[in-house]
Amino acid sequence: MIDATVTIDAAGATAWDVLVIGAGPAGAAAALRCKRLGRRVLLVDRGWFPRPKVCGCCLSPAALRELSMLELPLGALPPGVPLAAVWIGCAGHEARIVSAGGATLSREALDTGLVRAAIDAGVAWLPGTIVTEITEHGGGATATVRAPTPGAARIEARLVVIAAGLADAIRIRTTAAGRDNTAHSRPRRIAAASLIGLGTTLPADTGPLPAGELVMAVGSAGYAGIVRLEDGRLDVAAAIDPATMAAAGSPVAALDAVFADVGGLARVSVPRAALAAVGIRATPALTHTTPLAAGGEAAIVRIGDAAGYVEPFTGEGIGWALASARVLTGALAGSTSPADFRARFSAEHARVFAAHHARCRRVAGAVRRPWLCAGAVRAARWAPGVAARAMPWVVGGGGLV
């Protein structure tokens, strides 16, 4: 476990330049980058690290580039498993496509490595601390927190960065001039047909899947991916229609149905008993957009999944999260006033992400049409070279520049 480097009382007694809420890739990278700008930074998370996270654990080529741009000290992250190929199964057809690059790394290793790098750079770290509400005022914002030990319940910062992922349920209260003082809970716009995420990890001896081969099973209720992690475990992650999951009766039954849907391909058979034995985590609705800036004077901004997410099929969320931290600190470094910061951040965020989100939406839409998906899989089987050349487009290999 990574111990706190500051007590809740000391955190409450300090005037922070930046408070980052959430220590996933977006929050940890933002904290590290803000610290390197010379700011006094506090990073809090409701969890204790290492912590599990529903994720396919694939680092896209763009995510690997973002990690190298972070210039972490040597050895900060364990080497991932290079991703050699993706097997896609849909409606009884399957194809093996040479991957566009990338690697797999467990979220325990990735997120813990990033938090440690932030601490080593001088970021103050407070785990087990839930932020429930943020009140904006003229010179910054006050966060109301629930900490594991008794102590201060409020933290002051000039800038609050919400990097709380899909679970962001933090109430925002603004007192800025010209605004009312209403608490806005969940200003999130969730897409009508949004899927939810399911995930778990299985012991290394569960199945024979070789390292470096990602298997994607696409069924009528959603899709699931399985890949071997750097420590041998199998990571299972899925995006499932919530109504179908409710009808199936349990996450295990829903996952089982997706695997059964692809026609019993030997490569994706995961024993139902193995899934039931480990338990499965679920996420809130996946597809959403939420305003980047909250409150009236840019004292509160969102990055990573908290600001918006599409779907996991193309395996880009970690790269997007890391890039959003880069965009945030780029705007912060170059801005001359809070209003200027807000304008720069919004404009640059739209410039970097709009086309990638649109492409991901198109791919996710195609995956929802079984005839289209099965046709693409058959075509990939007949023309593997063409499929391999298309892969960089599918996964956003061009990068987030």
Measured from the CB of residue 197, what is the shortest distance to ligand FAD in angstroms? 3
Q: Which is nearest to 162 in space by CA: 171, 153, 154?
A: 171
Q: Give yes or no for residue 305 binding ligand FAD (CB under 6 A).
A: yes
State the Cα torsion 124-128-132-133 to the nearest 10°: -10
3-state secondary structure 102-167: CEECCHHHHHHHHHHHHHHCCCEEECCCEEEEEEEECCEEEEEEECCCCCCCEEEEEEEEECCHHH
Q: Give yes or no for residue 219 binding ligand FAD (CB under 6 A).
A: no
Q: Give yes or no for residue 47 binding ligand FAD (CB under 6 A).
A: yes
Please identify which residue in 8, 19, 43, 45 interacts with ligand FAD, judged by CB under 6 A. 45
Integer angstrom CA distances of residue 229 from 93, 141, 199, 304: 26, 40, 14, 23
Q: Give yes or no for residue 360 binding ligand FAD (CB under 6 A).
A: no
Please identify which residue in 167, 204, 247, 277 interacts with ligand FAD, judged by CB under 6 A. 167
Beta-carbon neighbour count of residue 258 at 10 Å?
25
Q: Return the bridge partners of 156, or none.
A: 15, 142
Q: Give yes or no for residue 131 binding ligand FAD (CB under 6 A).
A: yes
Q: Give yes or no for residue 88 binding ligand FAD (CB under 6 A).
A: no
Q: Give yes or no for residue 221 binding ligand FAD (CB under 6 A).
A: no
- DSSP-assigned states of every residue in 283-316: EEE--EE--SEESSSSSEEE-GGGTEE--STT--
Q: Give yes or no for residue 316 binding ligand FAD (CB under 6 A).
A: yes
Q: Give yes or no for residue 359 binding ligand FAD (CB under 6 A).
A: no
Which helix (H) or strand (E) segment holds residue 48: the answer is: none
Shorter beta-carbon distance to ligand FAD: residue 151 or 338: 151
Measured from the CB of residue 37, what is the shortest distance to ligand FAD in angstroms? 19
Dist CA 139 CA 218 (whole Å): 50
Q: Give yes or no for residue 239 binding ligand FAD (CB under 6 A).
A: yes
Number of residues that bind ligand FAD (CB under 6 A): 45
Dist CA 307 CA 47 (whole Å): 20
Measured from the CB of residue 394, what is the shortest distance to ligand FAD in angstroms? 13
Q: Give yes or no for residue 63 binding ligand FAD (CB under 6 A).
A: yes
Q: What is the DSSP letter of 227?
A: E
Q: Give yes or no for residue 65 binding ligand FAD (CB under 6 A).
A: no
Q: What is the DSSP letter of 205?
A: G
Q: Give yes or no for residue 323 binding ligand FAD (CB under 6 A).
A: no
Please identify which residue in 31, 141, 318, 360 interacts with ligand FAD, judged by CB under 6 A. 318
Residues 399 and 62: beta-carbon distance below 8 Å:
yes
Q: Give yes or no for residue 24 binding ligand FAD (CB under 6 A).
A: yes
Residues 226 and 209: beta-carbon distance below 8 Å:
yes
Q: Give yes or no for residue 197 binding ligand FAD (CB under 6 A).
A: yes
Q: Give yes or no for residue 296 binding ligand FAD (CB under 6 A).
A: no
Q: Which stretch binds ligand FAD (CB under 6 A): 21-29, 71-79, 184-192, 271-279?
A: 21-29
Q: Which is nearest to 328 in space by CA: 47, 35, 5?
A: 35
Please identify which residue in 57, 83, 95, 323 interacts with ligand FAD, judged by CB under 6 A. 57
Please identify which residue in 44, 159, 226, 376 interacts with ligand FAD, judged by CB under 6 A. 44
Going by DSSP bridges, is the β-strand pair 124-126/41-44 parallel, antiparallel, or unpaired?
Answer: parallel
Q: Give yes or no for residue 288 binding ligand FAD (CB under 6 A).
A: no
Dist CA 16 CA 9 (whole Å): 13
Q: Give yes or no for residue 315 binding ligand FAD (CB under 6 A).
A: yes
Q: Which stretch binds ligand FAD (CB under 6 A): 41-49, 183-191, 263-271, 387-395?
A: 41-49
Q: Give yes or no for residue 173 binding ligand FAD (CB under 6 A).
A: no
Shorter beta-carbon distance to ligand FAD: residue 46 or 228: 46
22 φ/ψ sector (left φ>0, alpha ψ -120 to 50, else beta): left
Burial class of residue 152, CB neighbours in 10 A (0-12, 13-18, 19+)? middle
Measured from the CB of residue 51, what is the shortest distance to ligand FAD in angstroms? 6
Q: Give yes or no for residue 22 binding ligand FAD (CB under 6 A).
A: yes
Chain residues that interact with ligand FAD, rule: CB under 6 A: 21-27, 44-47, 53-58, 60, 63, 130-131, 163-165, 167-168, 170, 197, 199, 237-239, 283, 286, 304-306, 309, 312, 315-319, 321
